[in-house]
Structure formats: structure tokens, C-alpha cells
Structure 1
Amino acid sequence: MMPFNELVLASHNAGKLKELQAMLGDSVRVRSIGEFSAIEPEETGLSFVENAIIKARNAARISGLPSLADDSGLAVDYLGGAPGIYSARYADGRGDAANNAKLLDALKDVPDSERGAQFVCALALVRHGEDPLPIICEGLWHGRILHAQQGEHGFGYDPLFWVPERNCSSAEMTPADKNQLSHRARAMALLKQRLGLA
């Protein structure tokens, strides 16, 4: 049973807001932190979980509402888990194309057997800014990094992420199919179980 009927998403991303509202259904109204503040907190954590908690606590303090945040990225085995929490800023904030080019360069001449990777999503839900018991749910999506980009859908590292169970890249999947399998979908499914919505 959902313990509240309204929460704030610690993101200014309208697409993420729409996706989350669809996943949670009509039982709770999801609002954007953008309604309350345009300032993003500094992500000083050393893990996806720590950064998700920082964002969730910040949004709860500003809005006075329960808050949900996610921190997501790509962890490549050969690179010791990099780009990890720095996925979006991997190429010094120059965007998806630069991030993908840097990743391909870092894995140049690395064989398929050593190109394992996973997309990671950590969700943190806090009832208030000082909540000592945040609900944490993580989702992993295992695959490997291709030698060249494939596909036109998605964003970020999707064109380089090979999905074995679909025999294609993440960017070659339909958005609906991706939303069934992705790291965010897996973390969200766990959260819905914890909240009694599954």
C-alpha cells in the first residue's frame, strides 16, 4: 500500500517524469523538482546509491514531499567499472557522441570476451529530507560493448550496448521493449514490490 499519494522526482527530465508516472500508475501523483527549484545538488557520492540518496534528500528538503531519485550509468568490466558514476560526464561534459567515442577508444583492440558491461540504476526513496531509512532499489542490465554503434533509438551509450537476450543493441530495441528489460525498469519493479504496488 502506497504510504503517500504524492511524491517529487529529483529530476528536471520530463521524459523520466512521464516514464515514472506511467510505471507507478494513478495511485500517486509524481511532481518534478523543477516545480520547486532549478538548482541541482552537487553529486559528491562515490557510488550510484550515494548520489541517488543525495538527490532524493535534497528534493525532499526543498519540496517538503516524499522524494524519489535515481542515479544511473554504465559500468564496463575491462575498465574496472568505469565510466560508472561519471557516465554522463565521461568526455568532460561534451555529450553522448563524445562519451561513446571515448569509450570505443578505451576499448580499442579489446576482444568481445573482455567487453562485458552492465547498465546500473540505483533508486532512492525518502519520506522526508532526514529520513534515516531510505528505500534503496537497484537494477542491473548485463550486456557487452560493441566495436561500433548500432541503432537509432535511445540515448547515451545505448548504441554501443549489446543485449544478448534480444540479439541486438539497446538502441535497436523499441522504447516499450527497452522499458521491460532495462536497469531502470528492474529497479522500479523492485520498488513497486517494496511499496506493495506490484
Structure 2
Amino acid sequence: MHWVVDKVPDQSLLNTANWKFIIPRLYWNYPNDDILLNISMASSPVIRVTSEKIEATINGDMIIDVVDNKEIVPVACISVIVSASGVVDASGNKVYGRVGLDNFSLALKWSKIGNFHMSLIQGVIRVLLNTVCMPYLNSRLGNGLILPVVHGFTLQDVYVLTSAEQLTLCSDVTFNASSMASLL
């Protein structure tokens, strides 16, 4: 998975001027330039299913790119580990969910602008996760994922069972003869 963040609710977060007190060399080298956050997965997520919830730990890399005179310049890479948990529900032929942030940590992998205090950056990233990433993910999960159904059949009374290491979708299946007759 790969995601480039170029817009956030508080757009000033994606400008070097807003970071001049947290990462001074970023601002000194690139005064008042826009920032892109280039986020990619470092490995597959680790998922744990329990009877109450589903937990996931995601390892990723966030490359901080600066747009300097219309040229994208990678300036630093931060390793990100995010732990989240959520619940799954079903209705009709869709599966829905919602997720919340449990914890996350940051570590500097490399930098062209020197070392910086990760604890200061962690506060800003927490805001980004809670105001951009989690609402976006919950919006997508709230719309539901359509369960595939063979033509002529429909699902009724779909429900989700979770137990140790297992997620099971249960449903009644009904046959719609009129939709099959239209195919003949």
C-alpha cells in the first residue's frame, strides 16, 4: 500500500514554516516550501482476532518530501509502527467496521537535514493520525464492503462471529428464481 498525503484539514502542517521550531534545519534549508508525506507499508500488517475485537499492527515508512521549486526532494524517512483495533459488523450484503488508534511509535531511519527530536514530531503525527487517517479509514469502513454473491442468490441475516484467531461471516442464502429466468 502506498499513500501520498498532500492535503490535511490544517494545511499549514504541510509547510516547512510550521515546522521551523521543531525541525529548524528543515526550515533553514527549505524556507516556506510545501511538504508531501510519502507513506508506504514496510511489511504486511500483523492481525490478531479475539472475540471482542480485531487488532492490527502496521509497520510503515514515512518519507518527508519537500517541494522545492517544483522539484520533489526527499529529506528524511521515519519508521512508523501503528497499533489499532476495531470491530466488524454486517448488514444486508455489506460488512462494516470502525477502528481506533491504540498506540504508535516513530524512529528516524535517515535524514538529509540532521537528527531531530522524535518526541516533538510524535505529537504532530498523533494529530495527523487522529484527524486525517482514522476519520478517512472509518469513512471507508462505514460505507461498508460489498460481499460477493453468485448471480441469482442473495444473502439474508448476515452476522459476524469473532473468536480466537478467527472471523466468520454467517448468512442465510436465498435463491431468486426470477433473476435466473431472465438469463435464459
TM-score normalised by the chain length of structure 1: 0.29
Q: Which has the larger radius of gyration?
A: 2
Whichever structure has more helix as a proportion of its residues is 1
Whichever structure has more strand as a proportion of its residues is 2
